Every structure is written in C-alpha cells, then in structure tokens.
Amino acid sequence: MNIIFVPEAKREFLDAISYYEAVRAGFGRRFKDEANRCILWVAEHSGLYRVRSGGYQRINLRVFPYYIPFIIRDSTLWVLSVAHGARKPEYWINRKQEG
C-alpha cells in the first residue's frame, strides 16, 4: 500500500518532531518512531478501524497525545493530519477532499 501525507499533515508531523526534540533530546525521535509504526500498522490492518461520521478512520498514538486520521482510496493510505488530541476536533476535516 502506498502512503501519502497531505502537505499540511507532513508539516504537522515535522513540527511535532521538532517540538519534542526541543523539549528533550531524543523525544523527537521517539515521536517519529511511534507515529511511523502506527502508520505502517494501519497500512497492513486498515480494516480494523471504523469509518467515522466524517468519512475517515483514525489511530491514536499510545505514548504521545496525538492521533492520525486517514482515508484509504484504492491502494493508497492518505494521512490527513498528525493532530494533537487537545486541538479543536476535526479542524483538518476538509483535507479529505484533497487526497
């Protein structure tokens, strides 16, 4: 399965990595590794996640307070956001139209 980040999601991902690395050396790498593991897991097990009312699926990170909403079209997993759990819910929802 192909994995594609919409541009805003890629920026959020890189910003979160930078933020956590600035907080404590090595945290940025831990965040990146956890997010990548979740994305790869979803690519292999996408059928395990329910489709939400907004037409997307999501996976929550275990250690960091983030979730990754995604959609699957054909054989492509589109990462719509790397969203902090305390942000306004579904602020990124219009991105699914772009993917």
Residue 97 has pLDDT above 60, yes or no: no
Sorted by where each begins, the domain ranges of the chain are 2-93
Encode pLDDT of 49-60 as tens digits: 999 988 999 999
Give the homologous superfamily in CATH for domain 2-93: RelE-like (3.30.2310.20)
Share the mean pLDDT of the chain. Answer: 92
User: Is the predicted pLDDT of residue 89 greater than 60, yes or no?
Assistant: yes
Q: Specify the pTM.
A: 0.89
- 26 φψ region: left (φ > 0), alpha (ψ -120 to 50), beta (else): left
Q: What is the reported pLDDT for 88?
A: 79
Q: Backbone phi, then psi, for 31, in 5-degree steps?
A: -60, -50
Give 57-79 pLDDT, tens digit per residue.
999 999 999 999 999 999 999 99
